[in-house]
Structure 1
């Protein structure tokens, strides 16, 4: 039961929701500080996630000094530093260029493979959905309800070569057809 904001849920948005007046390290520690975690524990968690997302050397940089991908890695590190039970991600890579997007997908998968956190990842990109997920939920148009769930049974760890495999292409065709059918019904009505 969800009755309001809570530390059991981490959120990463499409736009970079960092505090511009805080450094990378301070942004990552923000939630920990709010919860009264000791400075030493904050530093330990921050150092761990700075390393995990590849931002070592940028700890004292402000968001304006970072690329979009670096800002989003900071946002992911901030969410994970609080050790949430579930990570909610709303098109977190949508504003990134294609190459950075692919690198962020691989980074998030590697973090997931080591932590096995539950992640609810919203995307409109079919390739991204299949590559990232163990299950893809396709929604109906109006009202938005789960229309179809598709199991993604590719083994972990996954890498970019999966996207060109015949099995991936077959699953992409299935998901594309499900979405197309839903879209066509919406247009016809």
Structure 2
């Protein structure tokens, strides 16, 4: 149980970066070689929020993909900067995809994820914010992996305690 949970967490941690984008190069085209779930991540801020109509349109040969804002916005480090998973989408066919961001001014990105610090910070400018497209997994898979790692570690620890203290059985 512990090893399966840790395998899932390590896979999430080591997910591969597909492309780095800037808001200035709008729209951008990326060739995606593998099917699966991908995330659009905001680099430079521990907090990212859609204040209004900030949106992402992804098309492949004229077909629009469903892009959903993540409920649980995981944080990670990308080249020393804090990044936040913001959108996720599913790729079913390999090919060239066009990424177009709409209403970029409605994106609110701040350095700190703490509410008490965030109240006194200004919103980061678009020039200081970057975009990364990376592989990801679903939230439920991550939570199940985390729970399996914690429970597996606790069960293994309890087994070791009981193995070296046989008087606990009596």
Q: What's the TM-score bracket when you normalise by the shorter of the two chains?
A: under 0.3
Larger radius of gyration: 2
Query: TM-score normalized by structure 2?
Result: 0.23
Query: TM-score normalized by structure 1?
Result: 0.22
Whose helix proportion is higher, 1 or 2? 1
